[in-house]
Amino acid sequence: MRGVALIAVLWIVALLTVIGAGFALDMRTETTLTQELLAGARARAAAEAGVFRGIWEVLKPDRRRRWRADGTERRWSFRSYRVVIALQDEGGRIDLNSGSRELLGALLTANGVEDERRVALVDAIQDWRDADDARGANGAEDPEYQAEGRAAGAKDAPFNTVPELQQVLGMSRRLYERLAPALTVHSHLPGVDAQLAPPSVLRALLTGEGGSEGALDKFLEDKQREAEVPGGAEEPPRAAIPGLDPRFLSTSNGEIYTIQAMATVRRSNVASAVAHVSATIRVTNQPKRPYTVLAWREGRELF
């Protein structure tokens, strides 16, 4: 009987040990999940703070002391948070609706699209955004879309968003991802403001006459150095970029901006959470409501 009792006690101890180990594992898992959720929430809040910091820069009364809204990344730190902020005046991007066919073609060429495909894509974009159903020489209207199994056909109306470009016949996802940072639907300009344009747009504007990739690279390096000017300091005037095609140049009205922010929460020098937030705003110049939000995006990688 004593042997049986001893065996029973051993089984009970073993069972309690297993139960205790399982409980400890569950508690550890729940603690880890809670920490990850908390870090994610903090990173998201920090990214939102970065967006509002960017909006504050856009709305500064003294234009000379604003951050340049040309897509340059700026670093902002507070407490344990590291935030990267980029301001982009939409006048520095190519408008999918009002941008000229030649400008769209130049952007495609700068992204390695060969002649035949480039012409077809420009015509297809034009057929998508214009109001008629007349097919361009190399474009696509309803019959061409339906032949590819796309019953909706061409839109025959302006683009509402940049991602809509993926629906244009002949546009691959890989090419779209290269083009998207250079595009907008908010500038309503036939060209772009070169002083506010991101590198992908500037490369499309080069004519090769008086300009070069080397000169552009130097301009971009100077621009990044200017971004390190301490907050509140006046930024120096920027030199003109040689060799840009004058047909593609316009002046922004400084009305629509996109502010992107990426926040990282660090613990023991290891990134524990990263969050991305982007807002597109319209400046109203009204004291009670100085801006309106046109679009707000979270969670998608922006940088």
Three-state SS sequence of 70-109 = EEEEEEEEECCEEEEEEEEEHHHCEECCCCCHHHHHHHHH
CA-based angle 192:198:202, to the nearest 5? 60
- Decide if 216 is inside a domain: no
| Same domain? 117 vs 54 | no
Domain that holds residue 87: 2-92+234-298
Give residue for tokens 């309106």.
Answer: 292
171-182: average pLDDT: 95
Amino acid residing at 156 = D
| CA quadruple 126, 248, 254, 47: dihedral sign | positive
In a domain, 14, yes or no: yes
Q: Please check whether residues 19 and 47 belong to one and the same domain.
A: yes
User: What pLDDT score was predicted for residue 232?
Assistant: 47
Are 82 and 132 found together in one domain?
no
Do 88 and 109 lie in one domain? The reply is: no
Q: Is the pLDDT of residue 85 over 90?
A: yes
Q: Which range among 1-5, 70-74, 122-126 shows the weakest confidence by mean pLDDT?
A: 1-5
Q: Say what the pLDDT of residue 272 is.
A: 77
- Residues 85 and 114 grouped into a single domain: no
Domain annotation covers residue 154:
yes
Provide the terminal-to-terminal Cα distance of the chain, rounded to the nearest Å: 73
The answer to the question of residue 68 being in a domain is yes
Question: Are residue 51 and residue 115 in the same domain, yes or no?
Answer: no
Find the mean pLDDT for residues 17-41: 68
Task: Reply yes or no on whether the pLDDT at 7 is more than 90.
Answer: no
Q: Are residues 150 and 79 in the same domain?
A: no
> Is 254 inside any structural domain?
yes
Sequence-separated (6 or more) residues with CB below 8 Å from residue 209: 243
Are residues 52 and 117 both part of a single domain? no
Cβ distance 225 to 265 under 8 Å? no
Q: Choose one of 170, 194, 226: the last residue of a domain.
A: 170
- Examine the pLDDT at 28 and tell me if it is beyond 70: no
How many domains are there within the chain?
2
Distance CA 91, CA 54 (A): 17
pLDDT higher at 16 or 133: 133
106 lies in the same domain as 85: no
Both 83 and 110 in one domain: the answer is no
Instruction: Tell me which residue has tokens 């032949």.
Output: 147
Q: Which of the listed residues 170, 191, 209 is the one where a domain comes to its end?
A: 170
Contact 248, 191 (CB under 8 A): yes
Residue 284 clears pLDDT 50, i.e. is over it: yes
Task: Based on the fold, state whether residues 165 and 86 are members of the same structural domain.
Answer: no
Residues 22 and 62 reside in one and the same domain: yes
pLDDT tens digit sequence for 156-167: 999 999 999 999
Question: Within a domain: residue 141?
Answer: yes
Average confidence (pLDDT) over 103-128: 94
Sequence-distant (≥ 6) Cβ neighbours of residue 257 within 8 angstroms: 58, 69, 87, 88, 89, 90, 280, 281, 283
Average pLDDT, rounded, for the chain: 84
